[in-house]
Amino acid sequence: MSALDFGRLGFGAAGIGNLYRAVDDDAAAATVEAAWKGGVRYFDTAPHYGLGLSERRLGASLRGRPRGEFLVSTKVGRLLDPAAHPDDARDDEGFDVPADFRRVWDPSESGIRRSLEDSLARLGLDAVDVLYLHDPDVYDLEAGITQALPAMERLRDEGLVRAIGVGANSSKALAECVSRADLDLVMLAGRYTLLEQPALHDLLPLCVERRVGVVNVGVYNSGLLSRPTVSARANYNYAPAPAEILERARRLAMACAEFGVELPTAALHFGLRHPAVRTVVVGASNPAQIEQNVARMEEPVPDELWEELRRRGLIPPSSV
């Protein structure tokens, strides 16, 4: 398992890549500054986030800070190639940015190395600490495992990155990667949360066995668990939440309130409650969001809450 110290809370930089809505450069810089002031020292980004905008903004915001005091991860698998679109074309994958580039899946060794070089140029760094293969199951999981991961192992062997891993929404796909490659980490999105824990069955025990650390992201389930009161218009898995999911979230919120704990606070803390999990990473697009997350992570949560959630069948009996 990687010996890197991530801290309990990391910063996900998709928001400063204009995920869903545009933020300006000053707001992005202020958000990273708020994370730093809150003690966050792990920052995750990707070329996918805003077609490189997230990497550029994160690098600019970290410039001048002592390099030995923070960790940065980015991702490979999607190259950014110039796109021949009309001047007014916008990105169609959730980011409010011009469609100046197109994402190209390339798991080859040359593609992986070029992707890392391009990311370092955008970040303005000599090296990143962690490199993840990004969503290989969305494109070609087998090619990701047999082509990209061996190439990433060589990058680690050469000392060009300190740790390698895979990031995905599917715990099953991540388990396949852990079984067949020499990984340090996985970035698990939305599959070990207060709301749902499928990774308990297929991924997390394997990570413990193989000493692979888990970076847990998406613990708010696309925003469903991000507020003390569950909205009828809340999203789940990037789409409007079904009625049964809303009802389960409301039951969780009510149980948490009985112990004086707000739902988002419980969601953050639950995300750390497995021995394989190294850190929880949350996104933010303004300083208030990251400041609130930092404050929530510092709040105490009584063990009795987890016991009551188990008693009510809202988390599995096997949850730690």
**How open is the CA angle 73-133-91, to the nearest 5 degrees?**
85
Q: Residue type at 253?
A: A
On the CB side of 60, CA atoms within 13 Å amount to 16
Q: How far apart are the first and last CA of the chain?
A: 20
d(CA 20, CA 308): 36
Neighbouring CB atoms inside 10 A of 213's CB total: 23
**Tokens 């888990």 found at:** 214
Alpha carbon of residue 313 to chain centroid: 27
Among the options 49, 192, 220, 236, which is catalytic? 49
Residue 138: Cβ within 10 Å count: 15
- 220 among known catalytic residues: no
Distance CA 22, CA 27 (A): 10
Kindly list the catalytic residues: 49
